[in-house]
Amino acid sequence: MQISRIESAAASAAMAVPEARGISFAALYETTKPRITRLVTITSAMGFGLAALSYRPAMVDLVAGFIAAILGSGLAAAGANTLNQWMERSRDARMPRTMTRPLPTGRVTPIAVLMLGVELCLLGVALAWALVGIVPAAIIAATVLSYLLLYTPSKPGLWSSTWIGAVPGALPPVIGWGCVTGTWSSLAEVGPWALFTIMFVWQIPHFLAIAWMYKDDYAAGGYRVLPVVDRTGRWTWSMMVLWAAILLPVTVLPPLVMDVTPGFVAVPVAVVAGAWFLWSTIRVTRSRTRADARKVLIGSVIYLPIVLMALVVDAGIGALLG
């Protein structure tokens, strides 16, 4: 079954190779991983919005900060994703789920992808610096560097790479928060790190579910993610349940530590959504099939926007009451 799946994917990859190897803007756009980039901009905007409701900056600063939070983080995330695909192009060519990407199929050249990634990262950092200052620019740079220099190289050798990658994945709300005031002192508050913690914890069951679904692909690519070394799934699924359980108290944290969120909406929504996600993870942990992992993945995708939206609504109520 696995051999036929690889052969099918290889055939699709071969068909995808174009006759002419000019620059394909559609293929270059694909290297930015648009869906991941979109999540980065959304969570950055959320951090910006909650901080803006707390600090109430002047309109000119509000507009500049919002542009920095959206475009600065978005451009840098797109660049980091592009450079990630450039760094992993040989491994992507061995994995059925990634061998149809632009680089393995030859739809773009490595040098074009490298140049695009560097330019997008530099542009994102420069834009945030120009509009707000060094604080969001430094956080964006730290996000990009930790993703490319720590997480990406760790995947072939460390099963704990998921936890390493969760750090840059959790920083976008902190970027957005820093775009409001542009001061280091604002980052000494609990608010941005409460948001960071939510994003960090949520990523563990989310990405472990993906890794379980594609464990054979990751093994073919030479990645030592947890499901590759934990063939029975005992530790992988235990970790999914554990971190889904940790989400419950973590998502209640922001209303308790931020003045702008009174908790009227965020707390009950976080409790109900967290309990539902935990139960949906627990009830499939014994069978451990690929379909079960997909259920956990879908549950995580449903859970996150509900909790984030509840926080934003809660903050809006808090601003009106204040």
What average pLDDT does the chain have? Answer: 90
Residues 209/244, Cβ–Cβ less than 8 Å = no
**Higher local confidence (pLDDT), 8 or 208:** 208
Phi-psi region of 106 (alpha: psi -120 to 50; beta: other; left: phi over 0): left
* Residues in CB range of 49: below 8 A, 6 or more apart: 176, 312, 315
Two tokens, residue 36: 């991941």
DSSP line for 3-59: HHHHHHHHHHHHHH--SS-S--HHHHHHHT-HHHHHHHHHHHHHHHHHHHHHH---H
Give the lowest-confidence range in 59-73, 113-127, 179-193, 217-231. Answer: 179-193
For the stretch 177-215, what's the b/e string if a residue is b when 16 or more beta carbons lie within 10 angstroms of its beta carbon? Answer: bbbbbbeeebbeeebbbbbbbbbbbbbbbbbbbbbbbbb
pLDDT confidence tier of residue 22, bands split at 50, 70 and 90: low
Residues 51/316, Cβ–Cβ less than 8 Å = no
Residues 161/155, Cβ–Cβ less than 8 Å = yes
The residue type found at 41 is: T
- The pTM score is 0.90
The residue type found at 186 is: S
Q: Which of 178, 174, 171, 161 is nearest to 80 (CA)?
A: 171
Q: Which of 280, 284, 317 is nearest to 302 (CA)?
A: 280
Q: Tell me the three state secondary structure of residue 205.
A: helix
Sign of CA dihedral 38, 222, 101, 6: negative
* Residues in CB range of 217: below 8 A, 6 or more apart: 95, 96, 97, 98
d(C-alpha 213, C-alpha 300), whole Å: 14
| pLDDT for residue 14 is more than 80 | no
Sign of CA dihedral 79, 41, 153, 33: negative
Q: Which domains does the chain have, with CATH numbers?
A: 1-184 (1.10.357.140), 189-322 (1.20.120)
pLDDT confidence tier of residue 322, bands split at 50, 70 and 90: low
Phi-psi region of 222 (alpha: psi -120 to 50; beta: other; left: phi over 0): left
Model confidence over 277-295: pLDDT tens digits?
Answer: 999 999 999 899 999 999 9
| pLDDT for residue 120 is more than 50 | yes
Q: Tell me how far the alpha carbon of residue 306 is from its chain's centroid.
A: 16
d(C-alpha 130, C-alpha 14), whole Å: 44
d(C-alpha 322, C-alpha 310), whole Å: 18
| pLDDT for residue 83 is more than 60 | yes
Model confidence over 239-266: pLDDT tens digits?
Answer: 999 999 999 999 988 878 887 888 889 9
Residues 86/291, Cβ–Cβ less than 8 Å = no
